[in-house]
C-alpha cells in the first residue's frame, strides 16, 4: 500500500514543481524590462497585491525576483532555491524532489509548456494575462487531439526517433 501513496506524492510533486516553473516563466514573460543595459524584473505593485491575494504560495518567489537584475542562470537558481525551501524535505520527502527533476513526466511537461508558449507567443503578448489565464489556456491546448496524440508519440518514442511538433494552429 505504500507504493500508491508514493506515486501519488510523486505525481503531486511533479505538478507543484512544474507550476513553480510555469509561474516563473509567466513573471519573466510579462515583467522583465531593460534598464541601463540590464534586464530587470519589475512587477507593478498592483500585480504584486493580486499575486499575494490569488497566489500566496508564490509571493516569496516574486519577492526574490522583483526589482532585481535577472538572467537565465539567476532565474534558474532562484526557482530551484524556492523549490528546495518549500518542497524538499518539507512538503515532500528529501528523495522526491531530485527524482522529479530527472523524471520523464517533468521533462515532458516542461517541454510541452515551452512548446505551447512558442506556438502562442504573439497571442500571449497581446495583453498581460493572469497566471490563471495561462494555466487555463495551456490546459485547453493540452486536451486537443493533436496535442494528446503528439504526447503519446513522445511517450512511445525510442531513442533516435524523430517526432514532429503537433500542427495545431488553434489559438486557445
User: Given 3-state DSSP classes, what are the helix, strand and coil percentages for the chain, each rounded to the nearest 5?
Assistant: 70, 5, 25
What does the pLDDT read at residue 7?
86
Q: Which residue has the cell 487531439?
A: 145
Residues 114, 17: Cα–Cα separation, whole Å: 15
d(CA 1, CA 12): 17
**Whole-number average pLDDT of the chain:** 88
Tell me what pLDDT residue 102 has: 87
| Sequence ranges of the domains in the chain | 2-156
Band of residue 3 on the pLDDT scale cut at 50, 70, 90 = very low
**Model pLDDT, residue 168:** 41
Determine the Cα–Cα distance for residues 167 and 42; give it in Å rounded to an integer.
35
Q: What is the pLDDT of residues 14-54, one digit of tens each?
A: 999 999 999 999 999 999 999 999 999 999 999 999 999 99
CB count within 10 Å of CB 80 equals 16
How far is it, in rounded angstroms, from Cα 20 to Cα 113? 12
Q: pLDDT-based confidence at 94, cuts 50/70/90?
A: confident
**Confidence at residue 157, expressed as pLDDT on a 0 to 100 scale:** 74
Beta strands in the chain (DSSP E): 32-35, 38-41
pLDDT tens per residue across span 45-77: 999 999 999 999 999 999 999 999 999 899 999
State how far the Cα of 151 lies from the Cα of 81, in Å rounded to an integer. Answer: 30
Region 84-106: mean pLDDT is: 90
Residues 130-165 have pLDDT tens digits of 999 999 999 999 999 999 999 998 888 765 444 444
Q: Provide the pLDDT for residue 6.
A: 54
Amino acid at each position: 500500500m505504500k507504493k500508491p501513496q508514493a506515486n501519488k506524492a510523486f505525481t503531486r510533486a511533479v505538478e507543484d514543481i512544474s507550476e513553480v516553473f510555469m509561474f516563473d516563466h509567466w513573471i519573466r514573460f510579462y515583467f522583465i524590462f531593460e534598464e541601463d543595459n540590464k534586464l530587470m524584473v519589475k512587477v507593478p505593485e498592483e500585480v504584486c497585491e493580486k499575486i499575494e491575494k490569488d497566489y500566496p504560495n508564490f509571493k516569496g518567489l516574486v519577492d526574490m525576483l522583483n526589482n532585481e537584475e535577472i538572467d537565465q542562470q539567476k532565474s534558474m537558481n532562484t526557482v530551484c532555491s524556492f523549490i528546495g525551501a518549500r518542497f524538499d524535505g518539507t512538503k515532500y520527502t528529501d528523495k522526491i524532489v531530485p527524482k522529479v527533476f530527472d523524471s520523464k513526466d517533468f521533462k515532458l511537461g516542461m517541454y510541452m509548456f515551452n512548446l505551447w508558449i512558442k506556438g502562442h507567443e504573439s497571442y500571449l503578448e497581446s495583453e498581460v494575462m493572469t497566471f490563471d489565464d495561462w494555466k487555463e489556456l495551456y490546459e485547453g491546448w493540452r486536451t486537443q487531439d493533436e496535442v494528446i496524440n503528439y504526447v503519446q508519440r513522445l511517450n512511445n518514442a525510442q531513442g533516435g526517433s524523430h517526432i514532429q511538433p503537433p500542427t495545431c494552429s488553434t489559438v486557445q
